[in-house]
Copies of this chain bind each other. A is one copy, B any other.
Amino acid sequence: MTLSSAFTGSGPGDRAELAGDAVRRIVHLAAAIRHQQDVEFAELGLTPAVARALYELDPDLPLPARDLAEQLRCDRSNVTALVDKLEQAGLVERRVDPADRRQKTLLVTGAGRRTRERLHQVMSDSRLLAALTTEEVAMLRELVWKVSDGGCPARCDPE
């Protein structure tokens, strides 16, 4: 509680408190959502990281492993193990790029495509928003959209 907020109805202290409260709640809600998603990934036989790796792959746009690492914002070395598991599960295939034999292109298989569609459903599961009306959901979406608009804040770690 700042001094200004004790005296005014809408000072800068209020903004900070409101926003802080919103941030803490959002993080808390997201943790609950992710926990639920992780359970459903496990039911599909996938660990969370493997599921998210598959989700990042566009079935219609084969990608070198290097780019997948970039999209996942993790080191190249991790991608090897993730793709190993996806390949063992028959969801992805590695193909050497004839144009540059150093590169390996990642192809989503038919089974991979179907699993990926399930993953999209899991990640879009909105049971936890059940308490909101459709109008409120639309509003929430708009606000969160506006927050992360103009250059996706998740990628703003340029160091």
Contacts and interface: CB of A to CB of B under 8 A. Distances in A.
Chief secondary structure at chain A's binding surface: helix
A22 B144 CA distance: 7
Contact of A131 (B14, B26, B149, B154): B149
Nearest to A16: B126
Interface in A32-48: 32-35, 37
Nearest to A37: B27
Contacts of A34: 27
A146 interface: yes
A23 B153 contact: no
Nearest to A11: B134
A148 interface: yes
Contact of A129 (B23, B128, B136): B23
A18 B137 CA distance: 7
Given A18-B137, A18-B141, A140-B140, 18 more contacts: A20-B126, A21-B124, A22-B126, A22-B141, A23-B33, A23-B128, A27-B30, A27-B37, A29-B30, A30-B31, A31-B154, A128-B153, A129-B147, A132-B146, A132-B147, A139-B143, A140-B144, A140-B147
11 contacts: A16-B126, A19-B129, A20-B123, A22-B126, A22-B137, A22-B140, A23-B128, A136-B146, A140-B140, A140-B144, A140-B147
Q: Which 3 A-B pairs have the closest CB atoms?
A: A20-B124, A30-B30, A19-B126
